Amino acid sequence: MKCTPAHDPNDFVIGKKYNLEMPIIFNKDATMNEKCGKYQGLDRFVCREKLIEDIKEAGNFVKQEKIVHAVGHSQRNNCIVEPMLSKQWFVKMKPLAEAAIKNQETDMKVNFIPARFEQTFLQWMTNIEDWCISRQLWWGHRIPAYYHKDTGEVYVGVEPPKDIENYIQESDVLDTWFSSGLWPFSTFGWPEKTPDFDRYFPTSCLVTGYDIIFFWVSRMIFQSLNVTKKAPFKDVVIHGLVRDELGRKMSKSLGNGVDPIDVINKHGVDALRYFLTSNSTPGQDMRYIEEKVESGANYLNKIWNSARYVLSVLPEGYKPESVHSSKLYPLDRWILSRLNITIQNMTANMEKYDFNAASSHLYNFVYDDFCSQYLEMSKVSLNSEDPIKKQAVYNTLYLCLKDIILLIYPYTPFIAEELYLNLPGHLESVMLESYPEVDKELLDFDDYKQIDLLFSIIKEIRNYKIENKLAPNLSLDLAINLKIKVDDDFMTYLKRFTFSNVKIVGNEIIDMSGELINFDYCDLLINNESGKEDIIERLKKDIETEKSEIERCQRMLGNPNFVSKAPQAKIDQEKAKLALHENNLKDLNEKLAKIIK
């Protein structure tokens, strides 16, 4: 027996409760067959022609006209789809919705992330209508309703009627969302009291899209509350939809869909996972951009290559050791401090489910701190004859690599597993490891001034060589006036990575010849006598080039035909070029005068 929505409560009765113990309502006066008279069983198009004939014959026909309007067609067979009245099974929603709303006012509420989506949920529950749960499909959970073959009596219950041979079961099945709403607790053995149910229910977090908050999230919440008296999960993280590069929804008609298998074959499954997790903001749509997937693959390749290097330099039979700051050198303490700051920032963002922000902290650490700085500088220490210093570097490299693997694991499980299983002293799987925690002893580092100064000087020297078109490995003579105390390794690293001869001086640096650069904690003088003639020659060539460009611009702007006929935009462009070249010439002359002095 199908039914229609309630209008008069007296016309409906409450059926027995099926598994979920939600009230199913149906019309007790409905009959199995509608009486349509002579039109019963006719094809709809035949019936329409017959109906017109009968109207004409009865003298009630006024006119017939064509009306152009949108007519829905089936996607599968292109037949016209028309609404047909039929009796369906419904769930009375008001008591279920009220319970869900009330739960949001308690400590057991479901936390929506972002929080604004809680209002979406509450609006649906506040304006709820009775839920049609019957579907005419070939598959699904069959509705537990039975009709007596002779009397038409309706039986609804958890168990079939005892004289089942006298009944016919309802052929309709439950709405898909009704069935999927059972997922949080039925998967753990409910309604039986199982160990899994006691341990895992309620679950911690559900991740889903904003487009099914009503269809799925709300159904799970009020069904769980109804049958278990508990909300099904603590948090709901809402993500957006993946759109194409232009922000359009992917669809067959537009042909803008992306086959993930093709992306995986080209870039790898972890690169795709990393792109999806690190480029999305909770609650916001994201765009699929091929270049970003490729960028993610390059980043993972960077981690892979750095791991190969670290594993290649670790001595054979290396056994991981506990790392204490007292046994480390300044550069080792610096990188481990940066690592623990990264862990701290990532943990804070992961707890907020902001995976994009969390991944950016690791990305910056891997590229800027670990690979660009520490890996290169550690090679100097590894060439040292001091076994204590080398052991400190081994321990630091190992700890950094291991924590990078554990931090990237939630984003890229396959690469992380492969790298982890190559670490000395690994467990059976990376899944058995704990997420890295902040080591407060290694987090605190009070010697940032020295390390920051070292990096700043190296960067400045490299930029100086680029600007003056000098070979990267050209030896320079440097004079440095230090205003802070530095470690012995400071000068070793400075000489090695600037390819320079470094002389420590005092305040007399101000009166020395060369290019003086002031930092927060030192003064640096570049005395490039060896490359001085090359720089002077290059500056003179650049000066002649700028003079030539200035003359060209002046001739063009001084030409009456050009000024009278050229578009104003072209004239303005030439004036801007002239001003640029004049400024360049001024800067070049100042540099030349400074060097010749």
| Structural domain span for residue 417 | 311-443
In a domain, 55, yes or no: no
pLDDT in tens, 137-148: 989 999 999 999
Count of structural domains within the chain: 3
Residues in the chain: 597
Q: Strand, helix or coil at 518?
A: strand
- Please tell me whether residues 363 and 462 are part of one structural domain: no
Residue percentage of the chain with pLDDT more than 70: 92
Please report, in angstroms and rounded to a whole number, the separation of the first and last CA atoms in the chain. Answer: 104
Answer whether 524's CB lies under 8 Å from 480's CB: yes
* Closest of 41, 34, 47, 133 to residue 86, by C-alpha: 34
In a domain, 515, yes or no: yes
- Please tell me the least confidently modeled range out of 74-78, 112-116, 154-158: 74-78
Share of the chain residues as helix, strand and coil, in percent rounded to the nearest 5: 50, 10, 35
- Please tell me whether residues 367 and 324 are part of one structural domain: yes
d(CA 233, CA 178): 17
- Please tell me the least confidently modeled range out of 23-37, 71-85, 281-295, 476-490: 23-37
Last residue of a domain, one of 528, 543, 565: 528
- Please tell me whether residues 377 and 484 are part of one structural domain: no
- Please tell me whether residues 347 and 439 are part of one structural domain: yes
Angle 269-278/290-313 helices, nearest 10 degrees?
Answer: 110
d(CA 281, CA 237): 11
Residue 22 pLDDT grade (very low, low, confident, very high; cuts 50, 70, 90): very low
In a domain, 334, yes or no: yes
Letter string b/e over residues 10-33, b meaning 16 or more CB atoms within 10 A of that residue's CB: eebeebebbebebbbbbbeeeeee
Answer whether 334's CB lies under 8 Å from 451's CB: yes
535 exposed, middle or buried (CB, 10 Å; 0-12, 13-18, 19+)?
middle
pLDDT in tens, 220-235: 999 999 999 999 999 9
Residue 152: other Cβ atoms inside 10 A? 11
Handedness of CA 137, 140, 145, 147 (dihedral sign): positive
Average the pLDDT over 499-520 and give the result. 83
512 exposed, middle or buried (CB, 10 Å; 0-12, 13-18, 19+)?
middle
What tokens were used for 308?
């190969």
**Domain of residue 580, CATH code:** 1.10.287.380
Instruction: Report the Cα 536 to chain-centroid distance in Å.
Output: 52
- Please tell me whether residues 340 and 434 are part of one structural domain: yes
- Please tell me whether residues 353 and 429 are part of one structural domain: yes
How confident is the model at residue 522, as a pLDDT?
87
Per the confidence metrics, is the pTM higher than 0.85? no
- Please tell me whether residues 478 and 591 are part of one structural domain: no
Average the pLDDT over 166-192 and give the result. 93
How confident is the model at residue 26, as a pLDDT?
39
How confident is the model at residue 471, as a pLDDT?
82
Write down the residue that tokens 């099904």 correspond to: 232
Last residue of a domain, one of 474, 507, 528: 528
What pairs with residue 480 in β-bridges? 504, 524
Distances (CA, A) of 576 to 558, 566, 582: 15, 15, 10
- Please tell me whether residues 437 and 496 are part of one structural domain: no
How confident is the model at residue 531, as a pLDDT?
57
d(CA 432, CA 406): 11
How confident is the model at residue 184, as a pLDDT?
93
How confident is the model at residue 208, as a pLDDT?
92
- Please tell me whether residues 510 and 578 are part of one structural domain: no
pLDDT in tens, 545-559: 888 888 888 888 888
- Please tell me whether residues 337 and 385 are part of one structural domain: yes
In a domain, 240, yes or no: no
Last residue of a domain, one of 394, 425, 443: 443
Which of 9-23, 91-105, 274-288 holds the top average pLDDT?
A: 91-105
Write down the residue that tokens 């400190």 correspond to: 392
Residue 424: other Cβ atoms inside 10 A? 14
In a domain, 410, yes or no: yes
In a domain, 91, yes or no: no
How confident is the model at residue 206, as a pLDDT?
94
- Please tell me whether residues 318 and 408 are part of one structural domain: yes
- Strand 167-169 and strand 173-174: the pairing is unpaired
Residues 6+ positions from 571 with CB-CB distance below 8 Å: 557, 562, 563
Residues 6+ positions from 435 with CB-CB distance below 8 Å: 347, 406, 407
How confident is the model at residue 597, as a pLDDT?
63
What tokens were used for 524?
């640096």
| Residue 101 pLDDT > 90 | yes
**Domain of residue 322, CATH code:** 1.10.730.10
Average the pLDDT over 506-515 and give the result. 80
Residues 6+ positions from 439 with CB-CB distance below 8 Å: 336, 340
| Residue 6 pLDDT > 50 | no
In a domain, 379, yes or no: yes
d(CA 270, CA 87): 49
In a domain, 590, yes or no: yes
Where are the strands (E) in 403-493, listed by range? 476-482
Residue 50 pLDDT grade (very low, low, confident, very high; cuts 50, 70, 90): very high
- Please tell me whether residues 519 and 548 are part of one structural domain: no
How confident is the model at residue 75, as a pLDDT?
79
